[in-house]
Amino acid sequence: MKIGLTYDLKDDYRGLGLSEDQIAEFDSPETIQAIEGALQRIGFETCRIGNIFSLVRALASGDTWDMVFNICEGLYGIGREAQVPGLLNAYRIPCTFSDPCILSLTLHKALAKRAVRDMGIPTPEFSWWRPCRIVRRCAWNFPCSSNRIQRAPARVLRSAP
């Protein structure tokens, strides 16, 4: 079985001028080597594809795989983690982990909390403020956590912002 590997290498994006903060969640060559080695040890043939831009070029040139092991984070937008699985869906190539819908939902923290709550799973209260300056006028119970809609990690707040 031929397994393609999609990933976002820090070095690829450094070369495009992105800051260390922008590439913090991306991978090192050692991570990719470890994943590839583990797959090969259990008998899979592997093919390194790289990021979404490399994937687009490979698909356009007719490359295909039986499955893709995807750990791409993506760069922009609420669907950034869903871009590779969505593209692979169009080519009917299965990939590991969640589907594009789940990846988009879970990246949007407020919508994910609503979905979990609506399924009857207990979750702490939350609020979603836009624009952020409204936050300063709200009643807070401290300590609490703050999280941007599309980013991790959350931050613990001990006093008003």
User: 90 and 27: one domain?
Assistant: yes
Q: 2 pairs with which residues across the strands?
A: 45
Domain termination site, one of 106, 126, 145 = 106
- According to the model, what pLDDT value does residue 36 have? 98
Domain that holds residue 134: 109-157
Average pLDDT over residues 96-112: 90
Q: Where are the alpha helices (DSSP H) in the chain?
A: 10-14, 29-41, 52-60, 83-90, 100-107, 109-118
pLDDT above 90 covers what percent of the chain?
59
Q: How many domains does the chain have?
A: 2
Q: 47 pairs with which residues across the strands?
A: 4
pLDDT digits (tens, 9 = 90+) for 57-102: 999 999 999 999 999 999 888 899 999 999 999 999 999 999 999 9
Average pLDDT over residues 104-123: 90
pLDDT at 144 over 80: no
- According to the model, what pLDDT value does residue 151 have? 57
User: What residue has token string 């903060």?
Assistant: 21
User: 78 and 113: one domain?
Assistant: no
User: 12 and 80: one domain?
Assistant: yes
Assign 150 a pLDDT band (cuts: 50, 70, 90).
low
- According to the model, what pLDDT value does residue 156 have? 46
User: 82 and 152: one domain?
Assistant: no
User: 74 and 149: one domain?
Assistant: no
Distance CA 103, CA 64 (A): 23
